[in-house]
Structure 1
Amino acid sequence: MEDVQKHQAAIAMPIDRVGVKGLKLPIIVRDRESGIQHTVAEVSLSVDLPAEFKGTHMSRFIEALEHWSGELDYNSFRSLLDDIVVRLQARSAHVRFVFPFFLRRNSPVSGANGLMDYTCRVDGMLKEGKLTFTLGADVPVMTVCPCSKAISNEGAHSQRAEVRIRTRFNGFVWLEDLIEIGERSGSCQVYSLLKREDEKYVTETAFANPTFVEDVVREAAKGLAEHEQIHWYKVEVESFESIHNHSAFAVIESASLA
C-alpha cells in the first residue's frame, strides 16, 4: 500500500516533535516499602521529523508501547525510547509518563492512616544515543503567611501550596525521597485523614512555622542540593492564596547539568 507519510512535504520545514499524547497505560513503578506499585499513567510519545517527510507513522508509537514491558525503570525506559527511534527511523525520541503515586500516611496524633496520592512524572529524551532522564513529583503542603501572622491580632491566612520537583541524578532515586523533601519544606504537610486531635496538631504546627512561598522553595532546593545522587534540579512552588484572586509562585533551578 502507498506510504503517504513518506511523500515530499509541501512545506519543507523540520518538526521538533510530532507524536501522540493522552494515552492511558497500566504501569509498574518502584515502591520503597512494598517493592512495586501498580498505577495508571498518561503517556506522551514523540519523535523529530525531517523537513522532507510529509508525516510520521503514528501507529508505530502504539506498537512500541504494546511491545514494552510496562515496568517503569531506567533500563526499560531506555529500551522503549530505543524501540521508538528504530520503528520510526527517527534521530530523537521523547517519552513522558505522568501517574499518581500512592503512599499511606499516618495522621500525626491519632495514628489514623489514609492514602495520599502524588502526581509524579518521568520524562526522557533519546538523542544521538544519549538519554536525558528526568524524575519529578508534585507535593501538596500547607503554608501560613508570616506577614499576615505578624500584623494580625487574631489568626493569619493559610492555604495549600504545591511543591513541583524535577530532578536528574546518578544511580537511583526513590520517588519517596522527592516527596519527603517537598513535605518538609512547607509550614506543615497535609494528610488525607485527620481526626480532631490531628487537626489541632496540624493547625498549631503550621502557625508555629509560617512560610512565604520564597521560604518553601529555598527549603526544598536545599534538600535537593544535599541529596547525594541528584546533580540537577528544578523546583517550583505555587501557593494557592486564600485571600487573593491569584497565586504566588517561586522557582529555583540548579546551575549544573553535569
Structure 2
Amino acid sequence: MNLESRKTLMPDVAHETATHARGLDWVGMEGIALPLRLDGDIIAPAIADVFVNLADANARGIHMSRLYLQLQESLANGDVSIARIGDFLQACIVSQNGLSTAARVRLRYDVLLERPALASANAGWRDYPIELEVELDGDGLRAAFTIELQYSSTCPASAALSRQVISEHFLRAFPNGGDAGEIAAWLASPAGMAATPHAQRSVARIRVELANGVDVLPIAVLVDAVERALGTPVQTAVKREDERAFAEANAANLMFCEDAARRVASVVSKMAGCLRYRVQVSHLESLHAHDAVAVVCSK
C-alpha cells in the first residue's frame, strides 16, 4: 500500500454527527507561540489564542488545524494592524467550509519603548504588556487592546502625617527659633526626616475599545500621555540626580488610587480613536498586606 492509499483510508471522526446536537459559541486553541513584527524591524514573541464559533449544530467539530496553519501564514512575522488581523479572521471563517460565521483572536506580547532619565543624559528601555483582542462576525470587526503601565504612588494621608511629625520635632529642636543656617543643617540631618510617607509601585491597567477605522494601535501616544498625567512613571537608568528628581516628582504628585484613576481616565477619554475604555489602578500597598484598587469606565 503506497502513501497516497494510506492517506485516503485515514479515518476522520470529526465528520460524524454530534451526539448532543447544538452550536457552540467558541472553539479553538489557546497558548500558541507566534512571532510578531513591531515597528517594521522588531520581532516580538507573542502568545495567540484563536477561535471560531461552531454554527452548524449537527457538526461534531471544527477543522482546528486549519486555524493554526492560517495563523502562521497570516500573522507570523507580520505587522500588527487591525486590517491585517481582520483579513486573518475572515480567512479562518472561510477555512471552516460553512461550519463557522464568526472568529476571534487574542494576542499577548510586550512592546519596548525607550524612556529618557529624569535629569541625567541617560536612557533605558521599558516593557509594556499588551493584550490585543479582535473579533469578526456578522456585525463587523471589533478591536480592543489592554496595556499595563507601572508608576509610583505616594500616599497623601501618610505625607500629611509625616509633615506633622517633622513639624513637631522641629518645634522641639528650635523652641526659641534659630538662624537659617542652623535650621537648614537640621533639616538636612537625619533628625530632619523624623517620618517618611509610604509609597509603592503601582499598576494602571487600561482597556481601550477602538473606533472603526483605527488600524494602528496608539501605544506610544497613550503611554506618553498617561505617564505625563501620573507624573511618576517607574524609571530605567537612574543616577543620583535622577533619583532626586524622582523624589521631587513623587512629592509633587501625591495620590490615592482614586486620584490616579481619575488622572488616567481624563487622558484616555480624550484619546483619538477610543470608543470605550476601562481603567483599573492598583496600588500595591507597602502599609497594608492588601492592595488599594480603583476602577472607572466610560459610560
TM-score by length of 1: 0.90
Query: What SS does the corresponding residue of 2:19 show, helix, strand or coil?
Result: coil
Which amino acid counterpart does residue 47 of structure 1 have in structure 2?
A: V
Which residue in the other structure is 1:7 paired with? 16
> Cα deviations across residues 68-115 of structure 1 (Å, max 9, x unaligned)?
142210211111111111112311111011111001111111121111
Aligned pairs for 1:37-116 (under 5 A) are: 37-50=42-55, 51-69=57-75, 70-88=78-96, 89-116=99-126
**Would you say the 8 A contact 2:222–2:271 is kept in 1?**
no
Structure 2 residue 198 is matched with structure 1 residue 193: no
Question: 1:234 deviation in Å?
Answer: 1.4
Larger-Rg structure: 2
Question: 1:11 deviation in Å?
Answer: 2.8
TM-score by length of 2: 0.78
**Would you say the 8 A contact 2:36–2:43 is kept in 1?**
yes
Question: 1:8 deviation in Å?
Answer: 2.5
**Would you say the 8 A contact 1:137–1:178 is kept in 2?**
no
Question: 1:53 deviation in Å?
Answer: 2.7
Which amino acid counterpart does residue 191 of structure 1 have in structure 2?
A: Q
How many aligned positions are there?
Answer: 251
In the aligned structure 2, how far is the partner of 1:193 from the partner of 1:24? Answer: 31
Gaps of 5+ in 2: 1-9, 166-194
Instruction: Report which stretch shifted further, 131-140 or 168-177.
Output: 168-177
Which residue in the other structure is 1:25 paired with? 34
In the aligned structure 2, how far is the partner of 1:173 from the partner of 1:71? Answer: 11
In the aligned structure 1, how far is the partner of 2:122 from the partner of 2:269? Answer: 33
Which amino acid counterpart does residue 224 of structure 1 have in structure 2?
A: V
**Would you say the 8 A contact 1:165–1:178 is kept in 2?**
no
More helix by share: 2
**Would you say the 8 A contact 1:136–1:178 is kept in 2?**
no
What RMSD over aligned residues (CA atoms) do the two structures have, in Å?
Answer: 1.8
Instruction: Report which stretch shifted further, 95-104 or 173-182.
Output: 173-182
In the aligned structure 2, how far is the partner of 1:56 from the partner of 1:185? Answer: 47
Instruction: Report which stretch shifted further, 163-172 or 236-245.
Output: 163-172
Which amino acid counterpart does residue 38 of structure 2 have in structure 1?
A: V
